[in-house]
Amino acid sequence: MVSRVVLTGSILAVAGLAACAPIRDVRGYVPDDEKVAAVTIGTDSRDSVQEKLGTPSSTAAFGDPTWYYISTEQERYAFFKPDVTKRQILAVQFGDSGKVNDIRKYGIEDGQVVALVGRETPSRGKEMTFLQQLFGNMGALPSAAPGQTSGPGRTGGDGR
């Protein structure tokens, strides 16, 4: 009897500790240092960089053509919001000639928090409730343009 209680207690304790273990999620791809060292500034082109490092995660939309290789590691406990524990970004910048101009590495410490503006653009008119929208047109007569009879698909009564 005592051994069952001890066994049950042990199982519950192990299950409780296992439930507290973080769930680790890794996304993206940053090439290892050997592959990055194989890329030569001023020599390698976009094709050779793609052969050595693979397809980039993202490319620059503005400014100098830059390829980004991005990796993010997150930890989540049970149902709580995940925390980003590691972020690596490898930026390969190309010059006008199409050759590698610069290679930079960024980490999570290089990131900046951007404050979003919560303002809204006001719109003219009034806000209607669901019931007002549902019953708003009941009993309203359709307005017809001068010279037309109302109704869908009807032709005008002037003989045209």
In the prediction, which pLDDT does 90 show?
92
Mean pLDDT, the chain cut into blocks of 10 residues (160 residues total): 73 64 84 90 92 90 87 87 88 91 90 80 78 77 62 54
Residue labelled with tokens 């006008």: 96
In the prediction, which pLDDT does 39 show?
92
- E runs forming strands in 1-159: 23-28, 58-59, 66-76, 83-94, 100-107
In the prediction, which pLDDT does 24 show?
85
In the prediction, which pLDDT does 93 show?
93
| Among 65, 66, 63, 67, residue whose Cα is nearest residue 53 | 67
Q: Where in the chain are the domains? A: 40-111
Q: Which amino acid is at 55?
A: T
Do 87 and 107 meet the contact criterion of CB atoms below 8 Å apart? yes
In the prediction, which pLDDT does 66 show?
92
Three-class SS of residue 45? strand
In the prediction, which pLDDT does 83 show?
86
Radius of gyration of the CA atoms of the chain, in A: 32
In the prediction, which pLDDT does 157 show?
52
In the prediction, which pLDDT does 126 show?
76
In the prediction, which pLDDT does 109 show?
85
